[in-house]
Amino acid sequence: MQGKRLLGILALACVALVWSGVALAGGHGCSMKAEDCAKEMKKDAKTQGWLGIGLDMSAEEHMAINKVWPGSPAEKAGFQVGDKIVSINGVECSEQNEEKIHGMMKDAKIGDKVTYVVTRGTETASLEATLAKIPAEVLAEKIDQHMKEDHKIVKN
């Protein structure tokens, strides 16, 4: 249970500011009004760094990547679907470090260089990415997903 809580916090940290590029899995039930939340997400996206990955939130032990956006900083850095994030800028992704990682993600800006250690099968790799501005179409997708999952707004 603690592992899922950590993953939720880490995903929220990455997404609350979306924008290191983590695709949200829903369920945290945003407390803001939907309209205010969408405005805040758009505002944050102007300065927040975007990595361009999606995370499988069902992964128990580590954050498993289930999507790498084409052309994203993640793709350029060599991330692959199936990689599991072990650390970010030398900070292990663990329950003990969840606040520190949340702070790091909150402060991540466009142009920041971030080093990730990932496991890929039995190998470990260090990948450096320069965070970018989230593309408008990806931001729109993330806002739509957040509205559906955390505000229960259904768009046709």
φ/ψ (deg, to 5) at 20: -65, -5
Where helices occur in 1-152 by DSSP H, the ranges are 2-15, 34-45, 73-77, 98-107, 136-150
- Please tell me the predicted confidence (pLDDT) of residue 2: 45
Residue 132 carries which DSSP code?
B
Residue 39 pLDDT > 60, yes or no? yes
Could you tell me the CA-to-CA distances from 43 to 18, 77, 91 in Å, in that order? 11, 26, 28
* Domains defined for the chain, CATH in brackets: 2-150 (2.30.42.10)
- Please tell me the predicted confidence (pLDDT) of residue 122: 94
CA angle 78, 54, 72 (to 5 degrees): 45
- Please tell me the predicted confidence (pLDDT) of residue 145: 84
Each residue's pLDDT tens digit, 102-124: 888 888 999 999 999 999 999 99
Please count the residues of the chain: 156
Please give the mean pLDDT across all residues of the chain.
79
Biggest CA pair distance of the chain: 45
